[in-house]
Amino acid sequence: MNLKDLTYFAALAEQKQFTAVSEQFGVTQPTISYALKRLEEEFESALIVRDTTKKSVVLTKTGQLVYELAVKIRREIAFTKEEVALQSIEKLRFGLPPIIGMYYFRDLLKKIGRVRTIALFGDG
């Protein structure tokens, strides 16, 4: 399964028109059609019904499920990218008065789990 296919499908589910999706991504309409076809083959089910009178699409029950999961998958991938980017940050340094640093931020930073070690004004 291709992530781009899911992205195109989610946009199609939201915009309801192949033309709008192809313009959004700067690809041809057949690109969107082939992406949809690959997903339908993968899931062995129709995902949309074409409404030729309105030149739009309607999601099938399976299509609605795949759309909802595609949105979640895209959200998870964005979150993963953010987390990976945070891993490349070596140190975050900022200054606080000792009373604030010692009593408030130490436990807070440990709880959010993004700080491996905390050194406040020379203590470990």
Protein fold of 3-87: Arc Repressor Mutant, subunit A (1.10.10)
> How far is Cα 108 from Cα 118, in angstroms, rounded to an integer?
11
pLDDT in tens, the chain (124 residues): 889 999 999 999 999 999 999 999 999 999 999 999 999 999 999 999 998 887 889 999 999 999 999 999 999 999 999 888 878 776 666 666 776 666 666 676 666 665 555 454 444 4
Model pTM? 0.68
* Sign of the alpha-carbon dihedral angle for 23, 26, 28, 33: negative
Q: Kindly list the domain boundaries of the chain, sorted by start residue.
A: 3-87, 90-124
> What is the pLDDT, as a whole number, of residue 97?
72
